[in-house]
Structure 1
């Protein structure tokens, strides 16, 4: 077999696998299955879709990797619950890799987070309850305590942003924030520890909290934007070293 023929064969196999993945997803939609519902067995899929077992198995591996199918060994296959783990891994990898070069992907990640959180913080202020506000305050106080001890702020920072937008009760937003945070926290490990001003970071979050607590949506939005401007500057300094 020539190289050209081998390449064509591989490309054809990829196209068949991709088509089969779409067929399985179409089957899930047509049957009205929901996250957690069982899928047909491999053998049932082979018979229904008219393809080989190995082909079905490869397609299922891809669907599992992208979060469509959940394979539980000894139990069967199920429609996966809504997760964006694969996206988080991809974003983290490219963001961290970019820090050794131009930093472009890392900055793009910050740009998207800034646009999302700055746009939605006003709605979060409107939806804030006393209990929700207490959770945001607790995260700020933990950040301040961690900063005073010279400890990492990563976990408290994550809890701050999670608690801030929890009142919106938007599962997709929560998942996206988790994705961005997973990517950012991984990227953060690549940054020089000395580059992060712990006290200033905790002060920025205290400022956002104060604006939210006061119900000042305009100030909260401005301070959230400023917070991400600071992160962008940190990336620029890291890349420029």
Structure 2
């Protein structure tokens, strides 16, 4: 192994110290019982409490801001950041797209997780859905069908369909995670590509899922969802096996 592939000890130690400092800052937030939107201690106070220099502190604060832990508002100070899943979505999107240039493993794993999440919660969803909400879900299906007939993509209506399915659960964390997985999947889907003939089939799949939900047939709805995701996996595998890593378009 060449020396160029080895991280110098000094640099490695510095990285360890910065990660430890980031952990200390997060622990301070927790120990002071701060909540999203609350003001953070000033840089001077943090330097004193944590026993570090200002430059070292700022390096860690920049990382925590990128991770969505804190929010730095220039001229106003630092605050505990509200829920923000952008960093997670960006990281997973990059890993999924990168995997398409190789074996597609991460892209397939992301589909697996999304499938497990949606199919696993289908029963709970059906138990909570109302007739009024079913009207909204079908409206999303109708929108997909109309666009498919014109040969137009329907990414927004598709995302709305899946969001509406699980909205009755009232779980904000779930909705945020679904939004993350949708953003990631959308990027992967754009790269893998789809033909016009797939649009009508995909709209039909969503119509069948809606009908199973309306009939309160949880096993069938879950089975249809599983089949839908099997199709997505098949497209990813076909793309990777065809060997088109340099024909990708974001």
Normalising TM by the smaller chain, what interval?
A: over 0.9
Q: Give 1:196 deviation, angstroms.
A: 6.7
1:127-138 mapped onto 2 (5 Å cutoff): 127-138=128-139
User: Does the 8 Å CA contact 1:196/1:234 hold for their aligned counterparts?
Assistant: no
In structure 2, list runs of 5 or more residues that go unmatched: 243-250
CA contact (8 A) 1:36 1:80 kept: yes
Equivalences, count: 240
Question: Does residue 167 of the first structure (1) align with residue 168 of the second (2)?
Answer: yes
Equivalences for residues 5-24 of structure 1 within 5 A: 7-24=8-25
Give the TM-score of the pair, scaled to structure 2.
0.91
CA contact (8 A) 2:151 2:196 kept: no
The CA distance in 1 between the partners of 2:12 and 2:241, in whole Å, is 41
2:110 counterpart of 1:109: yes
Q: Which residue of 2 aligns with 1:152?
A: 153
- Relative to the length of structure 1, the TM-score reads 0.94
Match of 1:213 in 2: 214
Deviation at 1:130? 2.4
Mapping for residues 180-219 of structure 1, pairs under 5 Å? 180-194=181-195, 197-219=198-220
What is aligned with 1:48?
A: 49
Q: Mark the runs of 5 or more structure 1 residues left unpaired by the alignment.
A: none
User: Retained in 1: the 8 A contact 2:41–2:78?
Assistant: yes
Q: In the TM superposition, what whole-angstrom CA distance separates every residue of 1:206-225 from its partner, at most 9, and x where no partner exists?
A: 11101111111111111111
Instruction: Tell me how far 1:101 sits from its aligned partner.
Output: 2.1
Shift of 1:195: 7.5
Equivalents in 1 of 2:69, 2:187: separation in Å?
24
Partner of 1:100: 101
Distance 1:78 1:203, change over 3 A: same
Distance 1:59 1:101, change over 3 A: same
Q: Give the root-mean-square deviation of aligned CA atoms.
A: 2.0
